[in-house]
Amino acid sequence: MKAVRLSHYHENPVVEDVPEPRISSPQDVIVQIGGAGLCRTDLHVVEGQWQEKSGVELPYTLGHENAGWVKEIGPGVSHLAIGDPVIVHPLMACGLCRPCRSGDDVHCTASAFPGIDCDGGMAELMLTSARSCVKLDPGLEPADVAALADAGLTAYHAVRKAVPLLYPGTSVVVIGAGGLGHIGVQCLVALTAAEIVVVDTSEAALELAKSLGAHHGVLATGDPVAAVQELTAGQGAHVVIDFVGERGTESQGIAMLRRAGSYFAVGYGGHVNIPTIDVISAEINVVGNLVGSYNDLDELMALAARGEVRLHTATYPLDAVRDAMDDLANGRLQGRGILVPGA
């Protein structure tokens, strides 16, 4: 089968022929990929940022945002049938450890992360586990929702955690209305009654965010901190969700907070540097966000089935992975890029 393989860090991945995956465990599932999302994390993987954390042995197959159809199941799988459309949770969790039993499978003590530390889904077929497969509503196509497996899940997870803080009358700032941020805006509209302010460097992204339900758009090339302060009567936002996390958005996001506000870091690459006296005196919170749980993904699929969360995508054939990565890296991709095997 064809797969997008990374053989050397700092070099473009290539499409190669590799052996098809095989069932080796009772709970194994092989998915015929209908769409594999392209994420900025894939760029960071190629740059070597994940080399030490993942410990993956090169070459391996990229792709951690995947959806498709069940092609083969292990003898212990009873809730899935051949041909079922599924979206694949990015982690393969053990189901036995304390975090898994608490529904916090993103922190499973024995998980694998296809596309990060083992073979992923930028391929014609992918090996995963029965625990990772969420059945899709018949009205959803795998290629249309594939990027919700990570981009959507990560955005939903952050918003879901912020929901108790965003009662009517509160304000929330979304920094970055791109691949994750435009999903985050939709989740905020669906789950909260907060006033939503979106900050982005692109006028087009701001217009998209407002069309999805954001109340205000702030161009980041000006003075976004001052703009947010003005929109919040000089108090600052109750919550800031930073989907960029680098190039200065970290310090701007903290400066946008009101007293006792919460900064949710979703994007990464930069540094959060706050004097501890400021943390104490203003009693602000910094909250990290990593992917999301199986239950988060199941809830997100319910919103998608109702049309309350929609992805804006551009599709590419698997062989065009370099073009897709180049478009993402250079800001030409609005929304999410989806690789479609066989297209």
CATH number at residue 175: 3.40.50.720
Q: How far apart are the first and last CA of the chain?
A: 14
Q: Tell me the pTM.
A: 0.92
161 pLDDT higher than 80: yes
Q: Choose the final residue of a domain: 255, 270, 288.
A: 288
- Rounded to an integer, the average pLDDT of 12-20 is 97
Residue 256 has pLDDT above 80, yes or no: yes
Phi, psi angles (nearest 5°) of residue 256? -80, -10
Residue by residue, what is the 3-state secondary structure of 285-304? EEEECCCCCHHHHHHHHHHH
Round to whole Å and give the CA distance between 343 and 246.
Answer: 34
Give yes or no for residue 334 having a pLDDT over 80.
no
DSSP 3-state assignment of 80?
coil
Same domain, 200 and 270: yes
Identity of the residue numbered 231: L
Confidence of residue 286 (pLDDT cuts 50, 70, 90): very high
Closest CA to 239 of 161, 154, 309: 161
Q: For residue 18, what are the β-bridge partners? A: none
Q: Which of 12, 41, 35 is nearest to 123 (CA)?
A: 35
What are 85's strand-pairing partners? 69
Whether residue 146 is found in the same domain as residue 7: yes
Strand, coil or helix: 46: helix
Co-location of 137 and 10 in the same domain: yes
296 and 277 together in one domain: no
Angle at alpha carbon of residue 89, lines to 83 and 93, rounded to 5°: 110
Q: Are residues 222 and 129 in the same domain?
A: no
Domain of residue 61 covers 2-150+292-340
Give the pLDDT of residue 323: 96
| Count of structural domains, the chain | 2
Confidence label for 136 from pLDDT (cuts 50, 70 and 90):
very high
User: Checking phi first, is residue 143 left (phi over 0); if not, alpha (psi -120 to 50) or beta?
Assistant: alpha
Check residue 306 and give its pLDDT.
96
Please tell me whether residues 37 and 120 are part of one structural domain: yes
Pair 89, 297: CB distance under 8 Å:
yes
